[in-house]
Structure 1
Amino acid sequence: MDLEELKRIRKENFLSHKKKKREYYLKNKLEKKLSTKIKKREIIDYEKELNELNFEEKIKSIIKQQKTHVDNRKDRIIAKIREYKDKKREYYLEHKDERLEYDKEYREEKKEELREYRKQYYEKNKERILKKQRERRKKQKIKDKE
C-alpha cells in the first residue's frame, strides 16, 4: 500500500463516519420532533381562569404552590448556602497568605498614588470627617465622666 491508497481509504472511512453521524443526528431530531408533537399542551382559557370571581382564588393557589415548593426544598437550599459559605471560607483561608503578599506588593508599588489619593479624599471630605471626629470625642468625654 502506498501513501495515496492510505489517504483514499482514510477519506472514505471519514466520509462514511460523517454520513452515519449525520443519519444518527437526523434520526434523533425526528424522534424529538415526533415526541413533542404527541404531547399537546393544555389550552388555557384566561378569560375563564382569571375572571373577577376566580382571580383572587387563583393567585392564592399559585402562592400556596410556590410556598410548598420552597418549603420542600428549604433544607436543600440552606445546605447549599452553608456549603457555599464553607467553600468561600476555605478558599479565603487557603489563599490568605498569597492575598496578603499581593496587597503588600500593591501598596508598595502604588505608595505615592495612594498617598495622593488619601490627601485628595481628606481635602474633599474634610468637614464631614472633622464632624465625625468631634462627635466621637463628645461621646468619649461623656463615657469618661460616667
Structure 2
Amino acid sequence: MDLEELKKIRAKNFIAHKKKKKEYYLKNKVAKKAPRKEINYEEELNNKNFSSKIKEIAKAQKAHIDDRKELIVKKINEYKKKKKEYYSENKKQRLEYDKEYREKKKEELKQYRRDYYKKNKEKILAKQKEKRKS
C-alpha cells in the first residue's frame, strides 16, 4: 500500500467513526427526553395553594441538603486540609515571591508618586499652604 491509499482508508474510517458517534449521542438524547408532565400554573400557584407549594419546595430542598450534609462537610474539610498542606509545602516559594512582588510594586509606586507630584505640583503646594494658614 502506498501513502495515498492509507490516507483514503484513514479518512473513510474516521468518517465512519464520526457517524457512529453521532448516532450514539442522538440515540441517547432521544432516550433522555422523556415526556414531561404539564403544569397548570394557575391551579398550582393560586392564592390558596401558593404558600403550601412554597413550603413543600423548601422542605424538599432542605431534605436534599440534609441528605448531602455529611458529604459536603467532608469535602470542605478535605479542601481545607489540601490547601493547608499546599501552603506549608510552598511556604518558602510564596515568601520569596511576595518579597519580590513588594519590591517591584514599591518601585512602581515611587515612580507613580514622582510623576503625580510633577504633574500636580502647583495644586499640592497650594493645598499645603492653605493647611498651614488654618
On whether the aligned pair clears a TM of 0.5, the verdict is yes
* Structure 1 residue aligned with 2:23: 27
Return the offset for 1:110: 4.9
* Structure 2 residue aligned with 1:45: 40
Distance 1:112 1:12 in 2: 62
Return the offset for 1:113: 5.3
Q: What TM-score results when the alignment is normalised by the length of structure 1?
A: 0.66
1:1-146 counterparts in 2 under 5 A?
6-37=2-33, 39-111=34-106
2:73 is paired with a residue of what secondary structure? helix
Identity level (%): 47
Q: Do the aligned partners of residues 50 and 104 (structure 1) sit closer, same or farther apart at CA in structure 2, a change above 3 Å counting?
A: same
Q: Do the aligned partners of residues 31 and 112 (structure 1) sit closer, same or farther apart at CA in structure 2, a change above 3 Å counting?
A: closer
Q: What TM-score results when the alignment is normalised by the length of structure 2?
A: 0.71
Distance 2:108 2:26 in 1: 65
Consecutive unaligned residues in structure 1, runs of 5 or more: 118-146
Consecutive unaligned residues in structure 2, runs of 5 or more: 113-134
Distance 1:109 1:30 in 2: 56
The alignment covers a number of residue pairs equal to: 114
Q: What root-mean-square deviation, in Å, do the aligned CA atoms of Structure 1 and Structure 2 show?
A: 2.6
Return the offset for 1:99: 1.2
Matched letter for residue 16 of structure 2: K
Matched letter for residue 6 of structure 1: D
Distance 2:29 2:108 in 1: 63
Return the offset for 1:41: 0.8
